[in-house]
A and B are shown apart, each in its own frame.
Chain A
Amino acid sequence: MLETIAYSIFNGVLYGTLLFMMSSGLTLIFGMMGVLNFAHASFYMLGAYFAYTLGLTTGFWLALILAPIAVGAMGALVERYGLRRVHQYGHVPELLFTFGLAYVIEELVALFWGTVPVPYKAPAVMNTTAFTMFDLDYSWFKVFILLVAVVMFVGLWLLLMKTRAGQVIQAALSRPDMVGALGHNVPLVFTLVFAFGCALAGLGGVVGGIQFVTDPGMAFMMGPIVFVVVVLGGLGSVPGALVASLIIGILQTFFLSINFSLAETIGTLNIEDSGFFGVLWHMEATRIAPVLPFLLLVLTLIFRPRGIFGKREA
């Protein structure tokens, strides 16, 4: 059991940090602009593909920096020429715009890079074993993921708390109209925040594309989970996104790692494995784990719509 717990915490943190890389950008965008960007995971995907293509010529390390910048630029274009136009019609069309955009990006990625996963890999040095815990090897790459996430969190925190630009963003997160009244160019701030959020997702993609598989389906699979993190953490709250990412990462990993079902633990009590309650009684924890985030999403929205750290409701 100790093994399982230690293991769940470590791997959950690892998975959680990847979730955080994606959701931190989304929570900024959501909190500030009220736009729940359905295409956010698509920018994550673009990050992976850009890094793969750039990496072929520049090598991984340069691609690690260039790819998020390229994704950020794409994000800026989308905000400037797409979202801003739709903004006047209200939040629902904005949401629908990003919904359609996600489809288009996925198709374009499949068009240019093909439907087969691309062979996007970490540099050879990072595939060597860094340490071994309970007989399982952990590569330097996993350590690197943690490192990137920590640097990202600290960087974000410093940016938001200690710089002037961060102060404006902070202010715009809670009182966008007031910031505009104070003479700041709110549309420009919006474009920059959107681009920055996309770049963060792109960075997540650079790393996540290696950890998982880089294929056109990666956005579609990650998308809903990222929403869950943002809602659970609280809209616009970066620390909230971090905590929620870790909670979901650890909880999901734990459910997957244990061998548990009500029937096995308490006894079958002659309940047959059929009918609604019977099936639930016999349901293994591993089978529940993937729907856990959505259960959390619904429960959060019912009982605490502002999330763990959020200051205001959606």
Chain B
Amino acid sequence: MATNTAAGGINALKLWPWLIVPFIAIVLPFVFDSGHTINLLSHMGVAIIFALSYNMLLGNTGLLSFGHAVYFGLGAFVAMHLLRAINDAGGTGLPIELLPLAGAAAGLGFGVIFGSFSVRRAGVVFAMITLGLGELVHSSSLMFTDFFGGEAGLFGYRDEAPSLLGVDYAPSRNVYFLVVAWTLIAAILIYLLRKTPLGWMANAVRDNPERAQFVGYNPTIVRYIQFVLSACFAGLAGGLFVITNEIVNDEVVGQLQSGAVLLGTFIGGIGYFIGPVVGASLVTFLESSLSAHTEAWVLYFGLLFISIVMFAPMGLVGIVHTQYLNWKAGGWKGNTGIRLYILVSGLVGIFGLICVIELSYHYFRSWDPGAPFILMGISTNATHLLPWLVSFAITIIGFGLMLLHGNPLLKRHISANSDGGKA
């Protein structure tokens, strides 16, 4: 967790990510101009805000929530009601660009209410309260159909609302630019919040609540403020979601939504500001693309998550960052080849594992396991022994080389070098 501050320091020194990333974001829709891809990009934007807000709890304050979708969802519902009111009024009222603010206000309001009794304790108690609250809100979303629209949900039209800038929001590309703008605003605000005394106190409360108390800060109040602000940004994401999707139903307050933001944030890396950005983008992308290509996508997802938790608890950004620091410190000198060797053998192992999983799905799930299917470009019969042997062999050789040969080799190399005075 300590790398948090280190990473923050590095980012603060360098303004270029804040220029490059929005530039790429603006260029992207001209590279991929299919409506589906642009929608996917918009969803990534929404997911990024949501994940950043989640990381204000998990990464910054050490609060693990299983019910963050409550604030996202309630924000979305309030924004949707407002949008419908605007539609009903013949397209007059609040400009569509400001609709996410309604979501943010709702998130703030519910954060104030629910936070008041959730944050008294951190840890498992907090996690369980959020789990219970999540279930309660989700269940009531099907009971109070006036507000939640039942399981069919609510529809609204983004192009039947006034625009501040006179833009027609029917084409998804225009919506995407709005999403980029809001994502940037939210990201800057969340980033700046980390740099305030409140942000530092949140870190202190996360790492050692007793000591924070002695210094004179009430941990409950610090947690409460962080919680409320986080709920506010989650509501903002919910409001933006209304504009991109034009439909809101009980899913947005559901457990799957809460689980997805947790997965995304953690996979990206909770100790880094850009961790949730990377994680949320990746998870959104995988969720929509992987499921179109393989039946086993949930399994891959689960395995990826478990591997991250087990082997790289600082997330994907953590891996890159650690290696980068290592490289900068000269840790790669003389052993770059070995590192590459480990990487390649690991990838070979993953490749073999994917083959095994795809073979299994074909063998167990298909109506005719004997029918030939194409595995990695080769026509294969899952009822024959050979493809299984080859796949298992690739897996074992790949991981075997990585764990039993590459890793010890690297360790020996490093210790041999450190004898020569290098850390």
Q: B-contacting residues of A (Cβ < 8 Å)? A: 34, 36, 82, 85-86, 89, 91-93, 95-97, 99-101, 103-104, 107-108, 111-112, 114, 224, 227-228, 231, 274-276, 279, 283, 287, 290-291, 294-295, 297-298, 301-302, 305, 313-314
A279 CB → nearest B CB, Å: 5
- What class of interface size applies to chain B in its complex with A? 35 or more
**Cβ-defined partner of B299 (8 Å) among A82, A97, A111, A295:** A111
Residue of A96, A104, A291 contacting most chain B CB atoms (<10 Å):
A96
Contacts of B143 in A (CB 8 A): 279, 283, 287
Contacts of B299 in A (CB 8 A): 104, 107-108, 111
Which of B130-138, B323-331, B343-351, B388-396 binds A? B130-138
Interface hits, B293-351 → A, CB 8 Å: 296, 298-299, 301-303, 305-306, 309-310, 313
Contacts of A92 in B (CB 8 A): 58, 62, 64
B132 touches A112 (CB 8 A): no
Contacts of B272 in A (CB 8 A): none
Q: How far is the CA of A135 from the CA of B136 in the complex (A)?
A: 36
Q: A-contacting residues of B (Cβ < 8 Å)? A: 58, 62, 64, 117, 120-121, 123-125, 127-129, 131-133, 135-136, 139-140, 143-144, 146-147, 259, 262, 266, 296, 298-299, 301-303, 305-306, 309-310, 313, 360-361, 364-365
Besides the contacts A85-B310, A294-B135, A295-B136, what 13 more A-B pairs have beta carbons closer than 8 Å?
A91-B123, A91-B124, A95-B124, A95-B127, A97-B306, A101-B302, A104-B302, A111-B364, A114-B365, A224-B135, A227-B128, A297-B129, A314-B121
A279 touches B146 (CB 8 A): yes
Contacts of B127 in A (CB 8 A): 36, 95
Q: How far is the CA of A291 from the CA of B142 in the complex (A)?
A: 12
- The 9 A-B pairs with the shortest beta carbon distances in the complex, nearest first, are A103-B302, A297-B132, A104-B302, A314-B124, A100-B305, A107-B299, A100-B306, A298-B132, A294-B135
29 contacts between A and B (CB under 8 A): A82-B306, A86-B313, A89-B313, A91-B123, A95-B64, A95-B124, A96-B262, A97-B310, A100-B306, A101-B306, A103-B301, A104-B299, A107-B296, A111-B365, A224-B135, A231-B128, A279-B146, A291-B135, A291-B136, A294-B135, A294-B136, A295-B132, A297-B128, A297-B131, A298-B136, A301-B125, A301-B132, A314-B121, A314-B123
Q: How far is the CA of A2 from the CA of B355 in the complex (A)?
A: 62
Contacts of A291 in B (CB 8 A): 135-136, 139-140
Tell me the nearest residue of chain A to B307, going by C-beta. Answer: A100
A294 touches B139 (CB 8 A): yes
Contacts of B364 in A (CB 8 A): 111-112, 114
Contacts of A93 in B (CB 8 A): 309, 313
Tell me the nearest residue of chain B to A295, going by C-beta. Answer: B136
Tell me the nearest residue of chain B to A92, going by C-beta. Answer: B64
Contacts of B120 in A (CB 8 A): 302
Contacts of A227 in B (CB 8 A): 128, 131
Given known A275-B146, A291-B140, A301-B129, contact A104–B303 (CB-CB < 8 A): yes
Contacts of A290 in B (CB 8 A): 139
Q: How far is the CA of A279 from the CA of B361 in the complex (A)?
A: 47
B309 touches A96 (CB 8 A): yes
B330 CB → nearest A CB, Å: 27
Q: How far is the CA of A99 from the CA of B139 in the complex (A)?
A: 21
Contacts of B296 in A (CB 8 A): 107, 111
Contacts of A89 in B (CB 8 A): 313
A274 touches B125 (CB 8 A): no
Tell me the nearest residue of chain B to A88, going by C-beta. Answer: B313
Tell me the nearest residue of chain B to A38, going by C-beta. Answer: B66
Tell me the nearest residue of chain B to A96, going by C-beta. Answer: B309
B383 CB → nearest A CB, Å: 16
